[in-house]
Amino acid sequence: MKQEIVINTTNEETRIAILEDSKLVELFVERPEYERMVGDIYKGKVSRVLPGMQAVFINIGHEQNAFLHFSDVSATYQDYFIDYEEENGGRKPSRREDFNVAKKLKKGQDILVQIIKEPINTKGCRVTTELSLPGRFMVLIPGKRHIGISRKISDHKEKKRLRDIARQIIPEHFGVIIRTVAEKKQESELRKDLNKLMDTWKKIEKNIKKSEAPVLVHKDMAMASSIIRDLFTSEVDNVVVDSRKQMREILSYVKYVAPHLSHKVSYYNGKEPIFDHYNIEKEIENLGYSKVWLKNGGSLIIEPTEALVSIDVNSGKFIGKKDHESNSLKINMEAAREIARQARLRDFGGLIVIDFIDMQEEANKRKVFMELKKEFAKDRSITKIEAISRFGLIEMTRQRVRPSVIHTINTACPTCDGTGLVPTMNTSVSALERWIKRYRASRGDRRITIHVTPEVHKYMTAGRYNRRLQLMWKYWMKIRLVRDESLQIGQFKVYDRLDKTLLSDEK
């Protein structure tokens, strides 16, 4: 499988596209007003402790307080604010000691937290007191003696070798998780990465001591750099950038951590935009549509809601040459592959319900289920997939750590407020008539001026005995209609007879 990373940089934003076999599978967008937050460390203040919700709200200086669940509070949370020589005669409390979060945490108390989930809609970001600093080959875990090895490293001898190296090099009161890219790496390379992480941690400790909460004490890498750190491995064929400045920054980092990969970083100087050249722009435009066509003529209907994401598989234009069961299997197998791609690309989170085309044979249902699991195995987010139910549905969950990319590149329509629906012409005119009826019941003035959209104006003044005259005769009023192109669909404004005093602004 061919893997590529394509980076497009403008004055307004940086877009990073991950391609697999020339198909877009992941898209990241970063803007000055919307920077990546996951990994940032804050010295915050406890704002509220809610035992009933098993949660703590932390003031970290954002508009919305951060959410800290009791399960994300470690016994080490106070290590950075207590002088143990004074408190416990130099003894740190045992990590195995049970402690009651609701009793320990108090309003106004300083606390060190790290963002693990970005704010989504009206919800603030989610944080944890279990801090970690990701490097190229390992993740440093302050205050916790633990050694973990990536599950993707399958060789038991290699796991043992890496574990032995980790035991030798990590300082006391620190733990590490060895990443997949560390496989076959020498001790010197791992030590170099660890030293860099330790330097970063020392800077954080200085910021903790000298800064007053709430304050940011550590900002993780920018999105482009973090993706290079986390995803640029020997399996990636090339990284293409259309900004010389961005390319120099990436090359500088790659030469430091993985010089053998530096030849894969290149500058794009073509005449057409880089995303057009790689056929990415058209894919991005299609993200706003609910219908996704499959290669074989079938289609997916994707409808995100507040509670879940529903995906319906349709046969569409597909006309098979075999029986219904075989045709359904073929469409469902193609749909399973595309659903996994769309989930990564649109960054779905939470509950996902998939309605595949009905099949009778259990063996075929099993094939579709296994195909879906195989495709989601490529996903870096944690997923859990249940087998096809007796209703022909697959229920699954997918971890969400940031807002969907659709909400980053699109905003809700101001006319329909994101519903995709606007009032019909008859509905708009009926609403206007209802207002006139209420007005006549409470006011005596029989002369008014109504500002309406050009479409409503045309509809109400068409013909000799038009709808405006009908309303005038019905309610015994003089009504003057004014075309107003500034109004949205379904909106109208009513003024007095002199067209000066606003009586109503309806929508």
Q: Would you state the structure tokens that stand for residue 229, as one six-digit string?
A: 């750190």
Judge if 94 and 195 occupy the same domain: yes
Residue 90 pLDDT > 60, yes or no? no
Judge if 145 and 76 occupy the same domain: yes
Residue 406 pLDDT > 90, yes or no? no
Strands (E) in 66-124, as ranges, are 66-69, 110-117
- For residue 202, being part of any structural domain is answered with yes
* Contact yes or no for 93/104 (Cβ under 8 A): no
CATH of the domain at 13: 3.30.420.40
- For residue 416, being part of any structural domain is answered with no
Question: Which residue from 415, 335, 336 is spatially nearest to 369, judged by alpha carbons?
Answer: 336
Give the confidence band of 320 by pLDDT, cuts at 50, 70, 90. low
Per-residue model confidence as pLDDT tens digits over 346-392? 888 889 999 999 888 999 999 999 999 999 998 888 899 999 888 88
DSSP codes, 129-155: SS--EE-SSEEEEET---EEE-TT---
Average pLDDT of the chain to the nearest whole number: 87
| Residue 177 DSSP SS3 | strand
Judge if 197 and 233 occupy the same domain: no
Q: Would you state the structure tokens that stand for residue 494, as one six-digit string?
A: 């009513």
Count CB neighbours of 473 within 10 A.
10
Judge if 352 and 374 occupy the same domain: yes
Count CB neighbours of 428 within 10 A.
22
Q: Which of residues 425 and 504 earns the better pLDDT score? A: 425
pLDDT the model gives residue 164: 93
Q: Region 51-66: what's the mean pLDDT?
A: 91
Judge if 66 and 214 occupy the same domain: yes
- For residue 420, being part of any structural domain is answered with no
Judge if 373 and 487 occupy the same domain: no
Judge if 93 and 156 occupy the same domain: yes
**193 φ/ψ angles, rounded to the nearest 5 degrees:** -65, -40
Q: Region 57-69: what's the mean pLDDT?
A: 92
Judge if 176 and 243 occupy the same domain: no
CATH of the domain at 464: 3.30.2320
Last residue of a domain, one of 352, 383, 408: 408
Residue 326 pLDDT > 90, yes or no? no
- For residue 460, being part of any structural domain is answered with yes
- For residue 414, being part of any structural domain is answered with no
Per-residue model confidence as pLDDT tens digits over 232-277? 888 899 999 998 998 998 898 888 888 888 999 999 998 889 999 9
pLDDT the model gives residue 420: 76
Give the confidence band of 145 by pLDDT, cuts at 50, 70, 90. confident
| Residue 50 DSSP SS3 | strand
Alpha helices for 149-259 (secondary structure H)? 156-169, 187-210, 223-231, 244-257
- The one-letter code for the residue type at 224 is A
* Contact yes or no for 134/39 (Cβ under 8 A): yes
CATH of the domain at 195: 2.40.50.140
Angle between helices 362-376 and 324-346 (to 10 degrees): 20
Q: Region 147-159: what's the mean pLDDT?
A: 89
- For residue 62, being part of any structural domain is answered with yes
The pTM (predicted TM-score) of the whole model is 0.76
pLDDT the model gives residue 318: 65
Judge if 176 and 200 occupy the same domain: yes
* Domain span holding position 456: 425-506
Give the confidence band of 96 by pLDDT, cuts at 50, 70, 90. very low
Q: How many helices (H) and strands (E) does the chain have?
A: 14, 25
Judge if 68 and 200 occupy the same domain: yes
pLDDT the model gives residue 161: 93
Count CB neighbours of 335 within 10 A.
27
Last residue of a domain, one of 218, 245, 267: 218
pLDDT the model gives residue 84: 41
Judge if 388 and 436 occupy the same domain: no
Strand partners for 240? 6, 266
* Contact yes or no for 62/124 (Cβ under 8 A): yes
- For residue 417, being part of any structural domain is answered with no
Alpha helices for 258-305 (secondary structure H)? 274-277, 281-286
Judge if 162 and 311 occupy the same domain: no
Total domains in the fold of the chain:
4
Per-residue model confidence as pLDDT tens digits over 335-359? 999 999 999 998 888 899 999 998 8
Angle between helices 425-442 and 454-461 (to 10 degrees): 80
Last residue of a domain, one of 218, 235, 256: 218
DSSP codes, 206-229: HHHHH-PSSEEEE-PPPHHHHHHH
Q: Region 91-101: what's the mean pLDDT?
A: 54
* Contact yes or no for 112/68 (Cβ under 8 A): no
- The one-letter code for the residue type at 232 is F
- For residue 362, being part of any structural domain is answered with yes
